[in-house]
C-alpha cells in the first residue's frame, strides 16, 4: 500500500468516525439546531477528501463534466437542504469506491511491475582481470561484465567470452531458452542458465531495453482515456444531459403543477443526480483496459494504451511489411543451375566470392556450399553498388550479382523469372550459371492471414521495397489481397494514407512491420504493431503495440485479447445502464431512497471491477 493510499484511508477513517459520532450525538440530542450543520460538514469534508482531489485535478485539466462533479453536486445539495445523513452517506459510499478504485489500479500496475521487475541490484564488473561488484546504474558503455549461471544479466550487452543458454521469457514471453554465443546480443533482465559469460555493455542501465519497456508500460497504465474510449466519449454527452435534466426536475415542477414545493423537488433532483451517476461504469473501464495490458505483458506484448485494444476490434485493414515480418529475413538457396561447370563448383565460386560478406544472401551461399572456406584463396575483392561482388578465387576472376553484372562483363546470361533473388555467376568472363536464394515465408504467416480473412473479414495488404516478382511470389503463396513492390519508406506512407482515406469513421487501419525502417508508417497508422522489436529503439518509440518476440501468431492473440477486453467493457456498460434506468424510474415514482440507490450502484460497481480483473488472466493462446 502506497503512502498516498494510506493517507486516503486515514482521512476516510477519521471522516467515518466523525460521521457515526455525529449520528450518535444527534440521536442523544447532544447537538441540536444550528450546531448540527458544522458537525456534519466536518465529517462530509473528511469523507470527501479523495473525491475533492479528483474534482480539483479534473478542473485543472478543464474536464468539468464527470462523475465526481455529479457526486459533489448531489451530496452537497443534500447537506444544504438539511439531509445531513444522506449527504454524508452519499459521499462516504462514493469515496470508499474511489479508494478501492485507486487500490485496484495500483494492484493492476503492480502485476506489470512485478512482471518487469527483473533488474538485478548488483553487477560484476571486470577491470584488468579483477572483478568488482557495482550497482548496474554505474555501468558504462564498453564495460565488461561477468555473469554466472543463475544470475540475471544486468544490462543489454554482447557476449564476448563463453557460451550459455538464456531464459528471457519474462521479457519476451518466449518459453524456450535461447543459446547465446560470442557475438550474440543479450538483454538486461534475462537469466543466465548454464555457463559463465562475459558481456560488453552496449546500453547503460537507464537506456536498456528493459528500462524502456518498463517506462512504456507505466505510461500505458497511466494513460488518460478521457474521450479516447467508448465510455469516455459517451460520458462527454451523458453527464451534461443529466445535469440539465436534474435542473429541470428541480425548477420546472415548483413553477408549474407543483407550485412552491421547492424543497421536495430539489430533493428529487438530487435523487435523480445520484441515480444517474454512472460510477460503476466509469471505474470498471480503466481497470478492464489495465487488465488487458497486464495480460499482454505476461506474453511479451507491450500495449501503450487501452484505446489501442479498442481500436484493434475496429480494424478491418491489416497492412504488412514483407521482409522480417511475413518472411524470416533469412535467405536459403533453393535452385542451382550451372552451365559449363558442376553444381559444387558453381556454389564454391559463389561462396568464396561472398566469403567476406555478412549479408544474409552471402551467408546462404556459404551454408549451401557446406565446406570450409579457405579465405587465403580469395583476393582482390570489390563490391559494386547495384551490381554485385567481384573477387579472384584460386586465380580466376569471379563476378556474382544481378543480370546487370553479367551484362557488364559480356556474358550471355539466362533470362530468369523467379520469386527469389537470382544471382548470376561469371568466371573469367564466361557465364557459369545462376543461383536462386529465397527468403523463407514464416509458417505462422499462413495461419494468420487466413485467420484475418475468415474470422476478422479483414483486407490484407503487403508493402515491400523488394522486386515485383519476389513480392508477387510471397503474396500469392499467402493469398494476400493486395501487394505493392519497389517502395521506399515514403511510398509506404503514401499507400497507408490511401487506405486510411478509404475507411469509414469507425474503422481502423493496422500496420505490422519489423520496426527497423518503418518507423514513420508505424507512427502514422491507427495501430502500429512492431514485430520482433526487442532492442529496436525505432520500434519501441514509434509503435503502439510491440511484440517483443519475433512471433507473428501473437498478433492473433492480441486481437483476441482486445475483443475479450471490449466485451467485458460493453457488458459493464449494459449492466450499469440497465440499473440506471431502473433506478431513475424508481426514483421518479418515489419508490427508492438515496440509500437504496447508492447500495445498488455500489454493488454494480464491484461486479464490474471483479469482472474486469479476470481479463488479466486471459491466456492469449
Query: In whole angstroms, how large is the CA radius of gyration of the chain?
Result: 33
Query: In 10 A of CB 246, how many CB atoms?
Result: 24
The separation between CA 6 and the C-alpha centre of its own chain, rounded to angstroms, equals: 31
Q: Distance between CA 418 and CA 402 in Å, rounded?
A: 13
Q: Are 552 and 445 in contact (CB under 8 A)?
A: yes
| Of residues 6, 215, 1, the one with CA closest to residue 105 | 1
Task: Please give the order of strands across the beta sheet that includes 388-393.
Answer: 327-338, 430-441, 421-427, 396-401, 388-393, 378-384
The DSSP bridge pattern shows strands 315-321 and 144-147 to be unpaired
SS3 letters across 547-610:
ECCCCCCHHHHHHHHHHHHHHHHHHHHHHHHHHHHHHHHHHHCCCCCHHHHHHHHHHHHHHHHH
| Of residues 473, 428, 165, the one with CA closest to residue 327 | 473
428 is catalytic: no
Q: Distance between CA 261 and CA 257 in Å, rounded?
A: 10
Q: Distance between CA 230 and CA 285 in Å, rounded?
A: 9
Q: Are 209 and 534 in contact (CB under 8 A)?
A: yes
Would you state the cell numbers that stand for residue 297, as one nine-digit string?
Answer: 505483458
SS3 letters across 253-319:
HHHCCCCCCHHHHHHHHHHHHHHHCCHHHHHHHHHHHHHHHHHHHHCCEEECCHHHHHHHHCEEEEE
Q: Distance between CA 134 and CA 233 in Å, rounded?
A: 50
**Which residues have a Cβ under 8 Å from the Cβ of 60 and sit 6 or more positions away?**
none
The DSSP bridge pattern shows strands 459-463 and 482-484 to be parallel
Q: Write down how long the chain is.
A: 621
Bridge partner residues of 321 (DSSP): 463
Q: Are 615 and 297 in contact (CB under 8 A)?
A: no
DSSP 34: G
Would you state the cell numbers that stand for residue 159, as one nine-digit string?
Answer: 557476449
| Of residues 290, 514, 328, 545, the one with CA closest to residue 437 | 328
| Of residues 298, 295, 26, the one with CA closest to residue 172 | 298
User: Considering 143, 156, 167, 321, which one is annotated as catalytic?
Assistant: 321
Count of alpha carbons within 13 Å of 316, Cβ hemisphere only? 10
Three-class SS state of 477:
helix
499, burial (CB in 10 Å: exposed 0-12, middle 13-18, buried 19+)? middle
Q: Are 31 and 55 in contact (CB under 8 A)?
A: no
The DSSP bridge pattern shows strands 396-401 and 421-427 to be antiparallel
| Of residues 48, 580, 587, the one with CA closest to residue 278 | 580
Q: How close are the terminal C-alpha atoms of the chain, in Å? A: 33
Three-class SS state of 446:
helix
Active-site amino acid positions: 321
Amino acid at each position: 500500500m502506497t503512502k498516498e493510499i494510506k493517507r486516503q484511508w486515514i482521512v476516510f477513517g477519521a471522516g467515518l468516525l466523525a460521521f457515526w459520532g455525529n449520528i450518535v450525538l444527534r440521536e442523544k440530542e447532544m447537538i441540536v439546531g444550528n450546531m448540527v450543520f458544522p458537525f456534519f460538514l466536518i465529517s462530509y469534508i473528511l469523507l470527501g477528501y479523495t473525491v475533492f482531489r479528483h474534482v480539483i485535478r479534473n478542473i485543472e485539466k478543464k474536464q468539468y463534466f464527470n462523475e465526481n462533479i455529479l457526486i459533489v453536486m448531489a451530496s452537497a445539495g443534500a447537506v444544504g437542504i438539511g439531509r445531513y445523513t444522506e449527504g454524508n452517506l452519499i459521499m462516504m459510499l462514493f469515496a470508499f469506491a474511489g479508494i478501492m478504485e485507486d487500490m485496484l489500479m495500483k494492484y493492476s500496475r503492480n502485476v506489470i511491475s512485478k512482471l518487469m521487475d527483473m533488474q538485478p541490484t548488483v553487477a560484476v564488473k571486470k577491470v584488468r582481470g579483477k572483478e568488482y561488484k557495482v550497482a548496474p546504474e554505474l555501468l558504462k558503455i564498453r564495460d565488461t561484465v561477468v555473469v554466472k549461471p543463475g544470475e540475471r544479466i544486468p544490462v543489454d550487452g554482447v557476449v564476448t567470452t563463453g557460451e550459455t543458454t538464456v531464459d528471457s521469457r519474462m521479457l519476451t514471453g518466449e518459453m524456450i531458452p535461447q543459446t547465446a554465443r560470442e557475438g550474440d546480443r543479450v538483454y538486461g533482465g534475462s537469466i543466465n542458465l548454464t555457463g559463465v559469460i562475459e558481456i560488453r555493455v552496449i546500453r547503460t542501465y537507464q537506456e536498456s531495453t528493459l528500462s524502456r519497456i518498463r517506462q512504456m508500460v507505466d505510461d500505458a497504465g497511466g494513460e488518460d482515456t478521457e474521450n479516447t474510449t467508448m465510455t469516455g466519449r459517451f460520458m462527454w454527452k451523458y453527464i451534461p444531459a443529466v445535469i440539465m435534466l436534474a435542473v429541470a426536475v428541480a425548477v420546472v415542477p415548483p413553477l408549474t403543477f407543483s407550485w412552491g414545493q421547492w424543497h421536495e423537488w430539489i430533493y428529487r433532483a438530487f435523487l435523480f443526480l445520484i441515480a444517474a451517476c454512472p460510477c460503476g461504469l466509469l471505474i470498471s473501464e480503466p481497470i478492464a483496459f489495465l487488465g488487458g495490458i497486464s495480460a499482454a505483458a505476461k506474453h511479451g506484448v507491450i500495449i501503450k494504451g487501452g484505446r489501442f485494444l479498442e481500436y484493434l476490434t475496429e480494424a478491418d485493414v491489416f497492412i504488412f511489411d514483407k521482409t522480417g515480418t511475413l518472411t524470416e529475413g533469412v535467405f536459403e538457396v533453393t535452385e542451382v543451375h550451372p552451365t559449363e561447370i558442376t553444381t559444387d563448383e558453381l556454389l564454391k565460386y559463389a561462396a568464396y566470392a561472398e566469403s567476406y560478406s555478412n549479408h544474409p544472401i552471402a551467408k546462404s551461399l556459404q551454408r549451401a556450399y557446406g565446406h570450409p572456406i579457405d579465405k587465403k584463396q580469395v583476393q582482390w575483392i570489390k563490391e559494386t553498388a547495384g551490381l554485385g561482388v567481384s573477387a579472384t578465387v584460386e586465380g580466376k576472376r569471379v563476378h556474382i550479382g544481378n543480370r546487370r553484372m553479367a551484362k557488364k562483363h559480356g556474358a550471355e546470361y539466362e533470362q530468369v523469372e523467379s520469386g527469389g533473388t537470382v544471382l548470376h555467376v561469371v568466371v573469367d568472363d564466361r557465364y557459369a550459371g545462376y543461383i536462386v536464394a529465397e527468403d523463407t515465408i514464416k509458417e505462422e504467416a499462413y495461419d494468420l492471414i487466413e485467420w484475418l480473412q475468415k474470422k476478422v473479414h479483414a483486407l490484407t495488404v503487403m508493402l515491400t521495397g523488394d522486386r515485383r516478382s519476389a513480392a508477387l511470389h510471397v503474396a500469392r503463396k499467402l493469398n494476400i489481397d493486395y501487394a505493392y513492390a519497389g517502395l521506399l519508406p515514403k511510398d509506404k506512407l503514401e499507400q497507408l494514407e490511401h487506405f486510411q482515406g478509404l475507411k469509414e469513421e469507425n474503422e481502423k487501419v493496422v500496420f505490422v512491420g519489423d520496426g527497423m525502417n518503418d518507423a514513420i508508417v508505424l507512427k502514422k497508422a491507427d495501430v502500429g504493431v512492431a514485430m520482433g522489436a526487442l532492442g529496436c529503439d525505432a520500434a519501441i518509440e514509434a509503435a503502439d503495440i510491440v511484440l517483443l518476440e519475433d512471433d507473428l501468431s501473437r498478433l492473433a492473440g492480441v486481437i483476441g485479447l482486445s475483443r475479450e477486453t471490449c466485451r467485458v467493457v460493453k457488458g459493464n456498460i449494459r449492466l450499469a445502464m440497465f440499473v440506471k434506468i431502473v433506478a431513475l424510474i424508481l426514483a421518479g415514482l418515489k419508490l427508492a431512497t438515496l440509500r437504496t440507490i447508492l447500495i445498488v450502484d455500489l454493488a454494480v460497481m464491484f461486479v464490474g471491477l471483479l469482472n474486469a480483473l479476470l481479463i488479466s488472466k486471459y491466456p492469449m493462446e
